[in-house]
A and B are shown apart, each in its own frame.
Chain A
Amino acid sequence: EAQVTQNPRYLITVTGKKLTVTCSQNMNHEYMSWYRQDPGLGLRQIYYSMNVEVTDKGDVPEGYKVSRKEKRNFPLILESPSPNQTSLYFCASSLIPAGANVLTFGAGSRLTVL
């Protein structure tokens, strides 16, 4: 089944404890992206990647890192999480070319930072 898989789905952690949220897709998509969703703010893009070793900032990249060493994986790294990073996170992927690309989203990862 074509899908985007995120792990963990739920995580409670403490301030300053490094964590990684993994994202993997099995559709050979070039494009991958991370979003966070907070009440009343909709989906805001954190980082995106056009292909292996190519990443760029979205609208809210502060406090996050990403890497794209393999085409299928696009982990989101919180080096020193803070409570304001408590949120629902979504990973998405699509084929290129642009414009007509259709995003496939993961089921989401709910992160709580105490």
Chain B
Amino acid sequence: DAKTTQPNSMESNEEEPVHLPCNHSTISGTDYIHWYRQLPSQGPEYVIHGLTSNVNNRMASLAIAEDRKSSTLILHRATLRDAAVYYCILSGTTDSWGKLQFGAGTQVVVTP
């Protein structure tokens, strides 16, 4: 089973922010939190990752709870091109880190 829990779907209006939650209550101290997204008919692509501190890049922001048991991906101004499935995964530094589990992700629908 996936180590993360995400809502099945979320809707947003264009130009509005989107907050995508992810629960990872069994996260270990060495697990990184990664977000990927998959546009229709494409392979997944990297969005952002972090360990403890909040992170920002040109695509999104990642807010990590103080206890690290949850995180939120923030798309600041949704566009139609952001309509995709977003996956939250954990990637650790233990011997089993290569076994990455994606789960079903969150389908983001953006309405004009």
Instruction: Check if B98 sits within 8 Å of A99, measured CB to CB.
Output: no
Residues of B within 8 Å of A90, CB to CB, are 43-44
Instruction: Check if B97 sits within 8 Å of A43, measured CB to CB.
Output: no
* Interface residue A70 (Cβ < 8 Å from any Cβ of B): no
CA distance A68 to B15 in the complex (A): 45
Instruction: Check if A40 sits within 8 Å of B104, measured CB to CB.
Output: yes
The 8 Å CB contact of A98, one of B43, B92, B101, B104, is B92
CB distance from A89 to the nearest CB of B (A): 10
Query: Chain B 82-112 against A: per-residue CB contact (8 Å), 1 yes, 0 no?
Result: 0000010001111001111111110000000
* Interface residue B51 (Cβ < 8 Å from any Cβ of A): yes
* Interface residue B14 (Cβ < 8 Å from any Cβ of A): no
* Interface residue A103 (Cβ < 8 Å from any Cβ of B): yes
Given contacts A42-B87, A90-B43, A105-B44, contact A59 B49 (CB under 8 A): no
Query: Chain A 11-47 against B: per-residue CB contact (8 Å), 1 yes, 0 no?
Result: 0000000000000000000010101000011111100
Residues of B within 8 Å of A56, CB to CB, are 98-99
Of B30-38, B60-68, B73-81, the one contacting chain A is: B30-38
Residues of A within 8 Å of B91, CB to CB, are 98-101
A-side interface residues toward B, CB under 8 Å?
4, 31, 33, 35, 40-45, 48-50, 56, 58-59, 90, 92, 97-108
B-side interface residues toward A, CB under 8 Å?
2, 30-32, 34, 36, 42-46, 49, 51, 87, 91-94, 97-105
15 A–B contacts from the bound complex (CB under 8 Å): A33-B98, A42-B103, A48-B98, A48-B99, A56-B98, A92-B43, A98-B94, A98-B97, A100-B51, A102-B46, A103-B44, A103-B46, A103-B100, A105-B43, A105-B44
